[in-house]
Structure 1
């Protein structure tokens, strides 16, 4: 038995895993409680957040704004899977990210996959998670977006898992966590120009992922939570500049900012 298995056995014995909702032992969220989590049936435009839009696609008004500025919109659609509630999804996400419970990645990915299927979002050519800066990755021990992406790959197409390219994007600089910034404009400023292309991505051994380039490919960009959408928009810009045909975003939930300044 490996050291990791021994450690997990001791931890499970001393601190038994129980459902964060009903307290039943055996899993961080039991099957019954997971099935009770409702998928958001209505999606809105990711930019104005006002106009109801099928599959969270960019609305005509926002698309026109980009066209008038001769700019490309970074996200073609954004699926927000569930409502961000204090004693609901937020508890699962907090435990996932800040209590370092990576096992929650599978049930959370199941929630996202249900939303993607419900809203008929097209299957992508590649799934790309939002990257962490190496300092935050070292602190947490895992990239929650990558865990979600890997689980989504297996859930959405069980017979032929979708290719996940976790090393395509890099985070160029270390910035304060978005959750610590409450001001809308400051959040946007905090993530401006923080992403770049991995200069070594084409030399890394990812042939098994059938990766040649993003040219004319549809991408599913995955993150855990979004608020203003600024992080996803910045990453989407890079993917579009690399030749991606369409970039669809998918998150577990969207946390609201009461006052946008």
Structure 2
């Protein structure tokens, strides 16, 4: 049986000043192509970057919800254009799925989403997921793509969630403030206090920080799915972990066993 991965890449990785970080996007596509062709993995990609891509064409105040939705509407097709072009160079095809909270909360809608997902994966298509924040109101929004990726990993039966960020792992203190901070390469339990720290987004385009990644990890760990957190700027450690099956760096969140169910 094929191994199924959900890979999430954040806005901080896909934006460089006022431009889409095309080189990083290219590197990500190359990694996914390698995973599919050399490891025969099924890959679901959760990609941020629509608002950032839209901002390259129109500069709006991103603190306003309607402005962010307008930028997402502009940026989403731009983002998909790049992905489609690059995947085609590997003779791979991708598809877009835009989701909101209700798609996971409603049994009928989540069943439909699962059905579409299985058809795409069975036909070797790479699903690219994003939150449908163009038209969704606050009640329907999941809030950030870390949580979307965690839900996707569970509902679509992934064997591993991979989050690529502007940080290369979880540290015992803030490495930007403490030069002696040490990486926690393996995490078996997330303390409740860590899940309620103040969010610290590092980019005006981001919607979370390390806390949202810990919440995503906690969600999947409780459902028997491991998570790996690493840098999306330099994919060396991700290659080591996924291709070479060596844990040289990055943080691996250990799943809790025997608790996974089909529905929550």
TM over 0.5: no
